Structure 1
């Protein structure tokens, strides 16, 4: 039997205790959920998907340049036998360092076009 991904209504979160409980259970039991009635514009969501696709399509020799300033042994996480569906890149100090996004883009040789998207998305 296929597991259903929980659906959480963003508009109800501030006023409905049952919706908060649903969100808590989704995080604890499933680790993911779908959110509806959120204020995120469709254009921003489309841009975020483009950014994510571009980052994960980068060649491996470029992705492994991603290191965190705070924790140098962290940063890029590759697909592995134990994590065959998760791959990640990280930006450290994004909210405290004005140069964090630029450093991230420089590490990964990001084009000017994609830098514009990153700055637009990550600075919101």
Structure 2
């Protein structure tokens, strides 16, 4: 019996790309992306930045959830998903939201540059 695996999507194969992404998201909620054009250097920098942000004290991470958005920006592990912890910027297209996030969690100028550089691939 063959094991099921996280879907792998190759960005060089443009035919049916959108459908593959939708299917992967609906079936798995995630996928592995190949040939995306993001440099290994940037990927490595973002891994370090993400780890350092998730290693922040809980009090600081909770400050990133403004009133009325509790749990929507900082998502702690819970009974349903003990292995997931999320910390996100509410709206990467809003300079105010980005600045609020950076201020709340105290990112360094280098972390800020890495986050903004990587976000250009998402916007």
Q: CA deviation digits over 1:17-65, x for unaligned, max 9?
A: 3x54433322111111111122111111111111111111111111111
Q: CA deviation digits over 1:61-104, x for unaligned, max 9?
A: 111111257x5323211001111121111212321x32322211
| Separation in 1, partners of 2:47, 2:87 | 14
Residue aligned with 1:114, SS: helix
TM-score by length of 1: 0.78
Question: 1:101 touches 1:119 (CA, 8 Å); kept in 2?
Answer: no
1:29 aligned residue: 27
Match of 1:52 among 50, 58, 77: 50
Question: 2:8 touches 2:31 (CA, 8 Å); kept in 1?
Answer: yes
Q: Please state if 1:9 is matched with 2:10.
A: yes
TM-score by length of 2: 0.79
**After the TM superposition, which residues 68-79 of structure 1 pair with which residues of structure 2 at under 5 Å, given as runs?**
68=66, 71-73=68-70, 74-79=72-77
Question: Structure 2: any 5+ residue segments left out of the alignment?
Answer: none
**After the TM superposition, which residues 81-100 of structure 1 pair with which residues of structure 2 at under 5 Å, given as runs?**
81-95=79-93, 97-100=94-97
Residue aligned with 2:22, SS: helix
Larger RCO (CA under 8 A, 6+ residues apart)? 2
2:98 aligned residue: 101
CA shift, 1:109, in A, is: 2.4
Over the aligned positions, Cα root-mean-square deviation in angstroms equals: 2.3
Residue aligned with 1:93, SS: coil
